[in-house]
Amino acid sequence: MGTNRITSRRKFFKASAALIGGTLAVSFMKPLGLMAQTDSDDNTKEKDKLPLWGMGVDIEKCIGCGKCAEACKIENNVPKEPFYFRTWIEQYTVKNDGEVKIESPNGGIGGLSQSVPNEDIFKSFMVPKLCNHCTNAPCVQACPVGATYISPEGVVLVDDTYCIGCSYCIQACPYGARFMNPVTKVADKCTFCYHRISEGLQPACVEVCPTDARVFGDLHDKKSDLVKFLQENPTEILKPHLNTKSRVFYNGLSSEVR
């Protein structure tokens, strides 16, 4: 009797283990791409034909008018409160004594003005910021459900219907480019105006810039304005030591900028 019971108990645990193991295996197979061979050669070729979007920012041209940040908020329905920005402009002022003052009241919307007296200024410049659309995006790596992903054109996007709102991606972004949208309650960020660029238009911030400080284009297209910008200027990306391999390139980036 006892032996039979023990045997039945063994069977019970074996069956339970098989059930749990099976469920886990299926859960892991999907993200690892083991369930279906979707990445065929055809897809790879298709991907090569697609553009690879990027942006150049010419710090020497930016005048801090804030039109880009304003246009972005209107175009993308970003809450108008000064805590939510898909793009913003930072004003750097290096004083004669070496102290660096950084300001970005309301993300630069309405225009930035200088608060340091002229005689104390060593140099001053504006730095537009946005999502850097990293090749090695830490936010994409961190997202527990895969709601944030890199589109085939290299744009880092968020699936609003899938994001669970854990904020892990916001913690993982080194550039402060993400925020929790108080209306949709999902992570929000610059999409390079994906809805516009898919129609052959420019992102809203690029469109409104009066000095052409932002250059948007296809990194695959050797004749694009962006590729020309990269050829003609010594550009740098933000926080290169983090190996994010971002696709937003700055010309005239000073060492004070983080």
In the complex, which residues of this chain contact another protein (CB under 8 A)? 1-3, 5-6, 8-9, 12, 20, 24, 27-28, 30-32, 81-85, 88, 90, 100-104, 106-107, 129, 138, 140-146, 162-168, 170-180, 182-183, 185-186, 242, 258
Taking the complex as a whole, the smallest distance from the CB of residue 159 to another protein amounts, in Å, to: 11
Taking the complex as a whole, the smallest distance from the CB of residue 178 to another protein amounts, in Å, to: 7
CA distance 209 to 202: 11
Q: Which is nearer to another protein, 14 or 198 (CB)?
A: 14
Q: In angstroms, how far apart are the furthest CA atoms of the chain?
A: 97
What's at 207, amino acid-wise?
A: E
CA distance 235 to 139: 24
Residues counted in the chain: 258
Taking the complex as a whole, the smallest distance from the CB of residue 253 to another protein amounts, in Å, to: 14
Q: Which is nearer to another protein, 187 or 227 (CB)?
A: 187
3-class SS of residue 68: helix
Q: Which is nearer to another protein, 142 or 253 (CB)?
A: 142
What's at 90, amino acid-wise?
A: E
- For residue 87, count other CB atoms closer than 10 A to its CB: 25
H/E stretch holding 49 reads helix 41-49
Q: Which is nearer to another protein, 48 or 82 (CB)?
A: 82
Q: Which is nearer to another protein, 106 or 233 (CB)?
A: 106
CA distance 113 to 11: 76
Taking the complex as a whole, the smallest distance from the CB of residue 91 to another protein amounts, in Å, to: 10
Tokens of 94: 């290096």
Token pair 């250059």: residue: 215
CA distance 196 to 129: 19
Taking the complex as a whole, the smallest distance from the CB of residue 16 to another protein amounts, in Å, to: 9
Q: Which is nearer to another protein, 135 or 233 (CB)?
A: 135
Taking the complex as a whole, the smallest distance from the CB of residue 177 to another protein amounts, in Å, to: 7
